[in-house]
Chains A and B, each alone.
Chain A
Amino acid sequence: MSIRTPNSHGSHGISRRTLLKLIGIGSAGAALAACGAAPAAPAASSGNAEPEPTAAPAAATGSIRVLVCCATPAEEPLRNKYNAAFEAANPGIKVIAEAPPAGMNYFEKLQTLLAANDMPDVFDMWEGYVQPYAANGALLAMDDLLKADSKIKADDILPAVVPAQSYQGKQYAFIYGFMPGPVSLFYNVDHFKEAGLEAPSPNWNWNNVREAALKLHKAAGGKVERYGVNFENWFVPWQYMMWSNGAEVFNADESKAAFNNPKATEALQFWYDMVNVDKIAPNQDDAKALGSMAKAFASGQISLRLGNYWDLGELKETKGANWKAVLAPKSNSGGRTWYMHLGCWSISAQSKMPQAAWDYARDFVLQRPIDSVTPYVPPLKSLMSTFKGPDHEQLGYTALPEIVSQPGTLRIPGAGAKFDKIQGLIQAELDLAFIGKKSVADALATAEPKVNEELARK
């Protein structure tokens, strides 16, 4: 092909400019093609037809994008190992995993991907988020995939986890593990010995915690040397407090607020009084100053901590810390209902590789690849015997399988898609109670109509 310079003779040859244009258009086309998804395999049937059992790995080839929320550094190599093993067991399937740093606005990222119609195939979901995402049509109903699966059976799933992964009777998430929150009462062994106190037991109630904390707290000249106890003021602890004391956040059909009642008030006031009346627990500002509460506890600045399973990483990192844990205390009326923290996978409704995505999620549930560093309770009855760890005895976790199998011990937040906003409305009032500017009764009474208004809004 000859290249001609532009001329004014009406030549029909390809000019340099035309050639450059063509190259440009061609390059752009190639680039766009490269950015596009790999050729997709036919999607799994989501209709009413009875799907064929899939004993063998999915025949589809291509890649699945996996988005992980909040993976700890210790989990990373384990997840990579699992991904490599999955690729090896499923020839033709490539796993493209992305794990933004923990706490980096995971759901903002997911929302943006959803708005951009660019959802990953498999992604982490949380308690309380499954329902709003399912309501928005973002998640694939997994019922047909589960029914067709030969490795897992629906009746093997623990009843406690079914509501958490379902929406309107369909399964939109696959829980790979869960933990009660706040699961543990951590205590400093040396402080207890020094104060001549008996170590906490799994049967402690809130009064026992307060009495011990009063004896363990050390302050002189207005300066606190160490806090007797510490707990956090956000929706997981305050729901545990309300539920454990027999109160509800919402009524049965979640159409009205139910927290403005004496039981909820009594529960929260009991804990908040340890901050503002007894002054044996750090207030919001003191807590900020202490930095990580788990580290502050491990370094001996706090004697008792009502904490979560994710504290364990920092506690184990702190050398020389002499701590132990028992399960979180029961309320003074004897109840203990936990918030259910989940690790779970959902599959995008847009996924072009739903079977491979399902296989990935299912095998993750069955193989429990991160179990050694993140001690989740498994979601299957048949896996319950695998819930073992070298420190489970020390943490009191050995009692968990039996406890969580009892109905009513674990709950997820109510109000579906509205919960995030509603918890914010309640939290705004409880912030005032936590710093002692309002009584809990006044805070809950003020929050109630706001929550009712939000629940009533269509």
Chain B
Amino acid sequence: MATAPARTRPGHLARREALIGYVFISPWLIGFLVFLAGPILASLGLSFTQYKPGQIPIWVGLANYVRMFGDELFYLSLSVTTKYTLISVPLGLAIALGLALLLNQKVPGQRFFRTVFYVPSLISGVAMAIVFAWIFNSRFGILNYLLSFLKLDGPNWLSDPDFTLSAFVLMSLWGVGSTVVIFIAALQGVPVALYEAASLDGAVGWRRFIHITLPMISPVVLFAAITGVIGTFQTFAVSYIMTSGGPANASLFYLLYLYKNAFNWFEMGYASALAWFLFLIILICTGLLLRTSDLWVHYEGLGKK
């Protein structure tokens, strides 16, 4: 009978190695504690206070959280962000998947096209926002110019509240390149044997996609959906630069509202509460996606769908 190895205290060498390990990671560790964990905990504490920069925070308990539920702009910003998430994430995933399927075909110039589709996602949000402000210009923008060929009178994308969010959704598609790359990697991981077996059974085209490709890449789709939801709930730079939340608050994203409270209106305590509520929203959305993943994500080797 095998005996369990005797538990021994780590030797001098092991302790020294551990110490050296900590020393090596200490720049990150210190940075994490000082610049991330510290502010995170501080913001949690501040969310229970009325805190104006330069003044001592005053404890108000749950007042900031209660205030949210009577705050019209809170609901408005949450509604804008939720609508944006519900439209742009599924649309972005669908388009990214479609492009990945096309770019996964063995065609001449495949690598070139993959690069071309990825390059836009390297452009900073600020630069993109400035360029898109021109693209969406109703008089001189290229988008309305192209629509004019279809005999369509393009709207005032960024001045008309009815179209502003659509403009932001369209703009979000510009950055699908990084998701496309992830999907291509996933598509290339689907065993060829499965397609061969499907062909023998007479499954081609759409049925192959629905019954083989999609289930096999579903864990990656889940990953892209979760990161997409987190990313869209954190939308800030584009609306800050392009519209500052306007017109008529049509692009007042949650994070922009939070920012205005913190930096424009001296409401650092309320802004901290908004930040923690956003964390809760993202946590719930991620939890829901993970919960429902049992229904639609296929994990090979786990004996379930």
Partner-B contacts on A (CB < 8 A): 107-108, 111-112, 114-115, 117, 119, 132, 136-138, 283-286, 288-289, 349, 417-418, 420-421, 424, 427-429, 431-432, 435, 437, 450, 453
Q: Which residues of A contact B266 (CB under 8 A)?
A: 111, 132, 136, 417
Q: Is the CB of A437 within 8 A of B161?
A: yes
User: Is A435 touching B247 in the complex (CB atoms < 8 A)?
Assistant: yes
Query: A223's closest neighbor in chain B, by CB?
Result: B139
In the complex, what distance in Å separates the CA atom of A136 from the CA atom of B51? 10
Contacts A289-B137, A289-B140 given; indicate if A420 touches B72 (C-beta within 8 A): no
Partner of A108, one of B55, B139, B140, B263: B263
Separation of A429 and B247 alpha carbons in the complex (Å)? 9
Q: A285-B158, A289-B137, A431-B246 are in contact. List 20 more A-B contacts (CB 8 A).
A: A107-B263, A108-B263, A112-B263, A115-B53, A136-B266, A137-B55, A138-B54, A283-B159, A285-B138, A285-B159, A288-B137, A288-B158, A288-B159, A421-B260, A421-B264, A424-B245, A428-B249, A429-B248, A431-B247, A435-B159
Q: Is B52 an interface residue (CB 8 A)?
A: yes
Tell me, rounded to whole Å, the shortest Cβ–Cβ distance linking A435 to chain B. 6
Which of A114, A284, A453 contacts B247 (CB under 8 A)? A284
State A112–B260 Cα separation when bound (angstroms).
13
From B261, which residue of chain A is reached at the shortest CB distance? A421
- B133 touching A288 by the CB < 8 A rule? yes
Known A-B contacts A114-B54, A137-B55, A284-B247; A432 and B264 likewise in contact (beta carbons under 8 Å)? no
Flag B247-266 by CB within 8 Å of A: 1 or 0 each: 11100000000001011111
* Contact residues in B for A435 (Cβ distance below 8 Å): 156, 159-160, 247
Chain B residues within 8 Å of A349, by CB = 54
- Residue of B159, B245, B264 contacting most chain A CB atoms (<10 Å): B159
B268 within 8 A of A: yes
> Most chain-A CB neighbours within 10 Å: which of B52, B248, B249?
B248
Output the nearest chain A residue to B70 by Cβ-Cβ distance. A453
Contacts of B260 in A (CB 8 A): 421, 424
In the docked arrangement, what's the CA distance between A284 and B242, Å? 13
- Shortest distance from the beta carbon of B27 to any chain A beta carbon, whole Å: 13
When distances are taken between beta carbons in the complex, the residues of chain B under 8 Å from A136 are 52-55, 266
Residues of chain B lying within 8 A (CB to CB) of residue A428: 246-249
A138 to B54, CA, bound (A): 6
* Nearest A-chain residue to B140, judged by Cβ: A289
**Contact (A289, B248) CB under 8 Å given A114-B53, A115-B53:** no
Q: Taking CB as reference atom, which chain B residue is nearest A348?
A: B54
B249 / chain A contacts, CB cutoff of 8 Å: 428
Chain B contacts with A in 137-153, Cβ cutoff 8 A: 137-140
| B55/A432 in contact, CB under 8 A | no
Q: Which residue of A lies closest to B141 (CB)?
A: A289
Inter-chain residue pair count (beta carbon < 8 A)? 79
Contacts of A288 in B (CB 8 A): 133, 137, 158-159
Contact present for A432 and B54 (CB under 8 Å): no
Binding site for A on B (CB under 8 A): 52-55, 72, 133, 137-140, 156, 158-161, 245-249, 260, 262-266, 268
List 9 A-B pairs, Cβ < 8 Å.
A114-B54, A136-B54, A283-B159, A286-B138, A421-B265, A428-B246, A428-B247, A431-B248, A435-B156
Contact A432 B161, beta carbon cutoff 8 Å:
yes
- How far is it, in angstroms, between the C-alpha of A437 and the C-alpha of B250 when the chains are bound? 14
Would A289 and B139 count as touching, CB distance under 8 A?
yes
**How far, in angstroms, from A421 to B266 measured CA to CA in the complex?**
10
Q: Contact: B246 with A111, CB < 8 Å?
A: no
Contact B248 A286 (CB under 8 A): no
Known contacts A136-B266, A435-B247; is-contact A285 B72 (Cβ 8 Å): no
Determine which of B52, B139, B262, B265 lies in contact with A420 in the assembled complex, contact meaning CB atoms within 8 Å. Answer: B265
A286 pairs with B139, CB closer than 8 A: yes
Which residues of the partner chain B approach A111 to less than 8 Å between Cβ atoms?
53, 262-263, 266
A284 pairs with B159, CB closer than 8 A: yes
A112, A349, A428, A450 pick with most chain B CB within 10 angstroms: A428
User: In angstroms, how far is the closest chain A Cβ from the Cβ of B261?
Assistant: 9
Could you tell me the distance in whole angstroms from the C-beta of A5 to the nearest C-beta in chain B?
15
Tell me, rounded to whole Å, the shortest Cβ–Cβ distance linking B54 to chain A. Answer: 4
Shortest distance from the beta carbon of A350 to any chain B beta carbon, whole Å: 8
Determine how close the nearest CB of chain A comes to the CB of B250; give it in whole angstroms. Answer: 9
Chain B, Cβ-Cβ closest to A421: B265
The one of B54, B156, B265 in contact with A285, judged by C-beta atoms closer than 8 angstroms, is: B156
**Distance (whole angstroms) from the CB of A426 to the closest CB of chain B:** 11
Residues in B whose Cβ lies below 8 Å from that of A138: 53-54
Least CB distance from A356 to B in Å reads 21
Q: How near does chain A come to B207, taking the closest CB pair, in angstroms?
A: 48
Give the 4 A-B CB pairs with smallest separation, nearest first: A115-B53, A431-B247, A284-B159, A285-B138
**A417 to chain B: which residues have CB within 8 Å?**
265-266
Chain B nearest CB, measured from A458 CB (Å): 9
A284-B248 in contact (CB<8A): no
Residues of chain B within 8 A of A432, CB atoms compared: 161, 247-248
B262 to A, closest residue via Cβ? A111
CB distance from A209 to the nearest CB of B (A): 23
Q: How far is the CB of B82 from chain A (nearest CB, A)?
A: 19
The complex places the Cα of A115 from the Cα of B245 at a distance, in Å, of 25
Q: How far is the CA of A136 from the CA of B158 in the complex (A)?
A: 36
Nearest-Cβ distance from residue A161 to partner chain B, whole angstroms:
24
A431 CA to B249 CA, complexed, in Å: 9
Q: Name A430's closest neighbour in chain B (CB-CB).
A: B248
In the bound assembly, the distance between CA atoms of A424 and B72 in angstroms comes to: 13
Given A427-B246, A437-B161, are A284 and B52 also a contact pair (CB < 8 Å)? Answer: no
A301 to B159, CA, bound (A): 21
* A residues near B245, Cβ cutoff 8 Å: 424
- The interface residues of chain A lying within 8 Å CB-to-CB of B159 are 283-285, 288, 435
Name the distance in Å between A186's Cβ and chain B's nearest Cβ.
Answer: 23
Question: Shortest beta-carbon distance, B219 to chain A, in Å?
Answer: 41
A289 / chain B contacts, CB cutoff of 8 Å: 137-140
Chain B CB count within 10 A is highest, among A111, A112, A132, A453, for A111
Query: Across the interface, which residues of B come within 8 angstroms of A117, CB to CB?
Result: 54
- Structural contact, A137 and B54, CB atoms closer than 8 A: yes
Given A136-B266, A289-B137, A421-B264, is A115 in contact with B54 using a C-beta cutoff of 8 Å?
yes
Q: Contact between A420 and B264 (Cβ–Cβ < 8 Å)?
A: yes
**Docked pose: A450 CA to B260 CA in angstroms:** 17
B137's nearest neighbour on chain A, judged by CB, is A289
Cβ of B264: which chain A residues have Cβ within 8 Å of it?
107-108, 420-421
CB distance from A246 to the nearest CB of B (A): 27
Residue in A closest to B246 when the chains form the complex, CB atoms: A431
Q: Known contacts being A115-B268, A289-B139, A431-B247, is A450 close to B263, with CB within 8 Å? A: no
A414 to chain B, nearest CB (A): 16
Bound CA–CA A75/B184 (angstroms): 55
